[in-house]
Structure 1
Amino acid sequence: MPLSAPFAHARAVVFDAYGTLLDVHSAVQRHAAAIGPDARALSETWRQKQLEYSWVLSLCGRYAPFRTLTERALDYALARHPGVAAGLRPALLAAYEALDAYPEVPATLGALRRRGLATAILSNGDPAMLGAAVGAAGLGDHLDAVLSVDPAATFKTSPRAYDLAPARLGIGRDAIVFVSSNRWDVAGAVAYVLATVWVNRAGLPDEYPDLAPARVIGSLEALLA
């Protein structure tokens, strides 16, 4: 059975990785006891700065590997939350290389492939970082392609980043469904003219009303409905 309308003609489902398939806060959660009461704030600052750095570099026409931005963002977060022991830095970075997948991810990817759809990742992560994360989460056998923006030397939401999906998969934009938990990423994909799904796990208010997703779901299982 194919995806429901408006995705009936889809041939591939392309996912963002960090925050969509992989829980970006699981790295800090593993060390929450050692971090102490600032664990949640540290994780939120780390993620916010990681994304902010990618946007600023793209706007400046510059690029650095996402692993570098992840390290810089953690350094900022540790400086911003001085109550957290700086000696936890190596353990946190190692944990980020092996983030937990959300529980429904393997079954959802498997079900989509059984329906004849290709599945892929399109991520800001650099190739080595993505390879480690996909391997650690056990998702490799569920994916037809793992695409990093690295060849484009820019981050999403640049159209050059989204160009990588149709080029690598060998199909037109009209046959791709793009799925992300990041509303800004969904907005970029809509502007690129992809059918999009926003995975709004946290029940956040909508943004970018002129760049609305085709569907909003609470978890990935809803893709199969």
Structure 2
Amino acid sequence: MPYVFDVYGTLLDVDAAAREAASESGMEALAAKWPELAAAWRARQLSYTWLRTTMQRYTDFWAVTEGALDVTLAEMGLDGDAALRARLLSLYTTLPTYDEVPAVLTEMAKDDQGMAVLSNGSPKMLEMALGAAGIASRFDRVFSVDALKRYKPDPLVYQMATDAFDCAPADVVFFSSNNWDISGAGAFGFTTIWINRAGKLWDDLPARPAHVVTSLSAAFDLI
């Protein structure tokens, strides 16, 4: 029963780039706006992945991330700040994990069930991010949507895991903080655990999660 994890927002804190930049000298323009920027950047980033998959106009996740940031900065009147843009993108390549993640992944790996990430991130992004976070060695496999040129929640993305592990969908335990990702994985047949850190409501989507928890530590207690 392999354990498969989303990366951005599940293992890595996607708000950290804006939060860290706002705390640095010379970035005062962001100090009061970073939560708004982080939320809008993330929402636009995800929206672009869904639209590009629907239109069959794939570009990799780094290009999507850059484009989403550029429009968000323009929307907030910050598009003239080249230093801010560069710093935010630099920080995004080395996002920290949530506090409990490294220790929990270490314990999960001891189960010897197979450990993988399944991410929208490009191979280069994932190599940099997982390496910088110090968790790359926990995983046997790294699956990127770049191999298929389509984004989650396309069913073919989830099929990469079942093909690689040679197992039925229900044998995969899938962890994500994104309810649309949980819905897509559940619709494919994965056993899903929603890491609902923010206490969000479930959207009107199919395939509700098997379990809902507020941290990866709580998820570990279920398996």
Q: Quickly name the TM-score band, shorter chain normalised.
A: over 0.9
Query: CA–CA distance in 2 between the matches of 1:215 and 1:162?
Result: 19
Name the counterpart of 1:194. Answer: 190
Which residue number corresponds to residue 14 of structure 1? 4
Q: In structure 2, the residue corresponding to 1:179 is in which secondary structure?
A: strand
Measure, in 2, the Cα distance between the counterparts of 1:206 and 1:105. 23
Shift of 1:195: 0.7
2 CA distance for matches of 1:80 and 1:174? Answer: 43
Which of 8, 20, 25 is residue 15 of structure 2 equivalent to?
25
Give the direction of change, closer, same or farther, for the CA distance of 1:92–1:114 in structure 2 (3 Å limit). same
CA contact (8 A) 2:187 2:206 kept: no
For residues 65-107 of structure 1, the C-alpha deviation after alignment (integer angstroms, 9 at most, x for no partner) is 0000000000011101115734311111010000011111111
- Aligned twin of 2:201: 205
Whether the 8 Å contact between 1:38 and 1:83 is mirrored in structure 2 is no
SS, match of residue 116 in structure 2: strand
Query: Could you tell me how far apart the structure 1 residues matched to 2:31 and 2:99 are?
Result: 26
- Correspondence for 1:172: 168
Supply the AA of the counterpart residue of 1:154.
R
Instruction: Summarize deviations over 1:112-151 as a string: whole Å, max 9, x none.
Output: 1112221110000010011100000000111111110111
- Residue 44 of structure 1: aligned partner: 39
Q: In 2, are the aligned partners of 1:121 and 1:145 still within 8 Å (CA)?
A: yes
Distance 1:209 1:71, change over 3 A: closer
Question: 1:119 is matched by which residue type in structure 2?
Answer: M
The equivalent position to 1:93 in structure 2, one of 80, 86, 89, is 89
Q: What does 1:87-166 align with in structure 2 at a 5 Å threshold?
A: 87-166=83-162
Equivalent in the alignment of 1:4: none
Q: Distance in 2 between matches of 1:208 and 1:108?
A: 31
Look up the SS of the partner of 2:206 in the other structure: helix
Note the 1:46-85 alignment, pairs <5 A. Answer: 46-83=41-78, 85=81
- Between 182-191 and 27-36, report the one with greater CA deviation: 27-36
For 2:205 and 2:170, the matched residues in 1 are separated by: 21
Partner of 2:178: 182
Give the aligned partner of residue 8 of structure 1.
none
Mapped partners of 1:210, 1:159: distance in 2: 14
Identity percentage over the alignment? 40
When normalised by structure 2's length, the TM-score is 0.93
Distance, in Å, in 2 between the alignment partners of 1:29 and 1:170 is 41
Amino acid at match of 2:6: D
Q: CA RMSD for the aligned pairs?
A: 1.3
Aligned residues: 215
Residues 47-79 of structure 1 deviation map (CA, whole Å, 9 limit, x = unaligned): 011000001011112211000000000001110
- Gap change, CA 1:166 and 1:32, over 3 Å in 2: same
Contact conserved, 1:197 with 1:213, CA < 8 A, in 2?
A: yes
Cα deviation, 1:145-197, whole Å, max 9, x if unaligned, reads: 11101111100010111111112223322221111000000010111111101
| TM-score, normalised by the number of residues in structure 1 | 0.92
